[in-house]
């Protein structure tokens, strides 16, 4: 079995601009978890803002959210959800590939049983 360890650089496009996401490291993940604890009980958009600072960087957040307290929360949520999905994309793909390979193995084991059952019915 060959294990592919290539880690892809993740870039998102938001309103015509490309932004590279922070690498999915232990440090990044720990920072995201710490934010959840720190901002527990605060409005969810505060968490989104801070997570986007980690994932996109301060300059990108300043560029994307110029309106300060007048910022549209639905727009912020759309950006946050897209960035979060992209950040988890490679992990989700790995999970999907793993599940598919397991299903193929199970189907390979069940095929003879299915054939036997078809013959029994005849």
pLDDT band at 103 (very low <50, low <70, confident <90, very high): confident
pLDDT-wise least confident of 42-56, 69-83, 103-117? 103-117
Q: What is the pLDDT of residue 91?
A: 65
Long-range CB contacts (within 8 A, 24+) of 46-52: 48/76, 48/77, 48/80, 49/76, 51/80, 51/83, 51/84, 52/79, 52/80, 52/83
Query: CA–CA separation, 103 vs 92, rounded Å?
Result: 17
Tokens found for residue 6: 């290539």
The Cα 99–Cα 120 span in angstroms is: 31
Nearest CA among 15, 31, 37, 46 for reference residue 87: 31
Residue 115 has pLDDT above 80, yes or no: no
| Whole-number pLDDT of residue 96 | 62
Percent of the chain with pLDDT over 70: 84
Both structure tokens of 78: 């759309």
Considering only residues 108 and 72, tell me which one the structure prediction assigns the higher pLDDT: 72
pLDDT of residue 121: 67
Greatest mean pLDDT among 47-56, 80-89, 108-117 lies in 47-56
Which pLDDT does position 112 carry in this prediction? Answer: 75
Q: With a cut of 70, say whether residue 122 has pLDDT above it.
A: no
């Amino acid at each position: 079995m060959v294990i592919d360890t290539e880690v892809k650089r993740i870039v998102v496009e938001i309103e015509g601009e490309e932004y590279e996401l922070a690498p999915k490291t232990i440090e990044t993940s720990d920072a995201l978890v710490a934010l959840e604890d720190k901002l527990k009980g605060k409005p969810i958009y505060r968490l989104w803002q801070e997570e986007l600072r980690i994932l996109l960087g301060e300059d990108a957040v300043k560029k994307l959210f110029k309106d300060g307290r007048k910022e549209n929360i639905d727009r912020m949520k759309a950006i946050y959800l897209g960035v979060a999905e992209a950040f988890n994309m490679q992990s989700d793909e790995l999970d999907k590939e793993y599940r598919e390979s397991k299903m193929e193995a199970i189907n390979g084991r069940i095929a003879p049983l299915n054939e036997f059952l078809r013959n029994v019915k005849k």
